[in-house]
Structure 1
């Protein structure tokens, strides 16, 4: 099991307006950096974002300016593997001892916990990517307006990890993703992105919460592409904030009234793992 500081996740009474989306602060305690605050949409704001997503799918109409581009509201809330992935990076000696010289690319950043954590811990460069502009706005706001001791500016870029025709930015020592395999298509795409990152001579760390539909497809596709990797068990924490039923089902293990330990899986691959197979 990957161990570290206890993940204290709790909401703050402080609210923020980011592009018309009302968000609450969620405090996370991590090794090295201490308390780190991210923003997630309130229950009412999630309702609005879901309405926008349904409108984009043609299921209903909604008036007003849309805050999401691709109809994906999932990145507006925090997910368990984000903390576990950040904790993994901040407790493993090979990352901690070299982080100041490392450049980090995050795919599907969502609320930005991982990008914020490595930036606070002193990474040389951090690029947060997502295909929803709102997610990048949440990260930018948290870096600039919350009481996070960010050591470097976090770069942002729109990037759809499922658009395999668009290459990953090159020149990064580490490519990381957390809780992005909620659909089979994202699992398949992530497998291709892992191989692409390894070919770019990047290490890869992928965090995944239990029950994600994309993980089996991810592992099968990864093996078909010539890479064998095994997830290791890690300690995550459930999230305790409100979740719209269409964002997180009622039977989801990701959410509880009070944060509880949750088994989360972490995959770590190095470029040599690709070279050994081929």
Structure 2
């Protein structure tokens, strides 16, 4: 642990002692993601039996997707670190932050402000711990606000509604950098490819090495009508039983960071 991180992290607030993380807090260790070894993150130990651990979760408690550094997130973070001019001096939003790797990369690369967005409160808490450990300052929120300069999004294209929302945000707000593993059956965006990547989820959960692409969706501003965002907008809508929102990865945190779906249900849904 660096001297700066030593001064910022209270041992009583580290994952092994943090009651907010439930049973998985004691299973976390500091690790360096392969594509971004500049950072140490609280991630799941290799010795943890994930399925057994998930069986201990309380009713309604989401699996610990924040305890992994997903391949697309690593790739986008690496791109930001290698191209700091993309974020320097800008107001950045990291959508579906998970462990916070992309948000941390933006902060390290000189962003003016960084907001890490995730509906899962545990993910937001772990992201804050990871930022403190690495001597960085970021803010967290459950929904994306208006008024940002660049939105970063890794592994969020699960269904057509999300593709449409991404395109809408580019029209309303600003440009978007997107990392997508190009899973079978998921939507595609017809924009130039900035870069290609190969990455594996870390720690590895028996997932194959994934190839994917990085894309930039440019800003094509349109006049915004006065009033709140529409109820169909995943940055601010509220879900109601039976409206289908629970299937949306940005509404249901259980889906937000699960590109490798380990259960039979997820395998069937995303081959």
TM-score, normalised by the number of residues in structure 2 = 0.64
Q: Which of 225, 231, 237 lines up with 2:199 in the alignment?
A: 237
Q: Which of 142, 159, 162 lines up with 1:187 in the alignment?
A: 159
Instruction: Note the C-alpha offset of 1:48.
Output: 6.0
Q: Indicate how the Cα distance of structure 1 residues 154 and 204 shifts in structure 2: closer, same or farther if over 3 A, else same.
A: same
Q: Deviations over 1:2-26 (max 9, x none)?
A: xxxxxxxxxxxxx842423231222
Q: Indicate how the Cα distance of structure 1 residues 30 and 39 shifts in structure 2: closer, same or farther if over 3 A, else same.
A: same
Q: Which of 37, 40, 44 lines up with 1:37 in the alignment?
A: 40
Q: Indicate how the Cα distance of structure 1 residues 269 and 240 shifts in structure 2: closer, same or farther if over 3 A, else same.
A: closer
Cα distance between partner residues in 2 of 1:217 and 1:121? 31
Instruction: Note the C-alpha offset of 1:115.
Output: 0.2
Cα distance between partner residues in 1 of 2:72 and 2:203? 15
Match of 1:198 in 2: 170
| Contact residue 167 and residue 217 of structure 2 kept, 8 A | no
Whichever structure has more strand as a proportion of its residues is: 1
Cα distance between partner residues in 1 of 2:54 and 2:69? 16
For residue 128 of structure 1, give the secondary structure of its aligned residue in structure 2.
strand
The Cα RMSD (Å) is 2.9
Q: Deviations over 1:176-203 (max 9, x none)?
A: 111234xxxx332321331232123311
Instruction: Note the C-alpha offset of 1:170.
Output: 0.9
Cα distance between partner residues in 2 of 1:82 and 1:134? 18
Structure 1 unaligned spans of 5+ = 1-14, 57-67, 160-167, 223-227, 244-249, 255-261
Match of 1:114 in 2: 102
Match of 1:174 in 2: 150
What is the count of residue pairs matched by the alignment?
202
2:187 is the alignment partner of 1:265:
no
TM-score, normalised by the number of residues in structure 1 = 0.62
Q: Indicate how the Cα distance of structure 1 residues 178 and 197 shifts in structure 2: closer, same or farther if over 3 A, else same.
A: same
2:127 is the alignment partner of 1:139:
yes
Instruction: Note the C-alpha offset of 1:102.
Output: 0.6
For residue 176 of structure 2, give the secondary structure of its aligned residue in structure 1.
strand
Cα distance between partner residues in 2 of 1:72 and 1:172? 30
| Contact residue 30 and residue 36 of structure 1 kept, 8 A | no
Q: Deviations over 1:18-54 (max 9, x none)?
A: 42323122214778xx711122233548446622669
Q: Indicate how the Cα distance of structure 1 residues 177 and 53 shifts in structure 2: closer, same or farther if over 3 A, else same.
A: farther
| Contact residue 31 and residue 41 of structure 2 kept, 8 A | yes
For residue 236 of structure 1, give the secondary structure of its aligned residue in structure 2.
strand
Q: Indicate how the Cα distance of structure 1 residues 48 and 188 shifts in structure 2: closer, same or farther if over 3 A, else same.
A: farther
| Contact residue 53 and residue 73 of structure 1 kept, 8 A | no
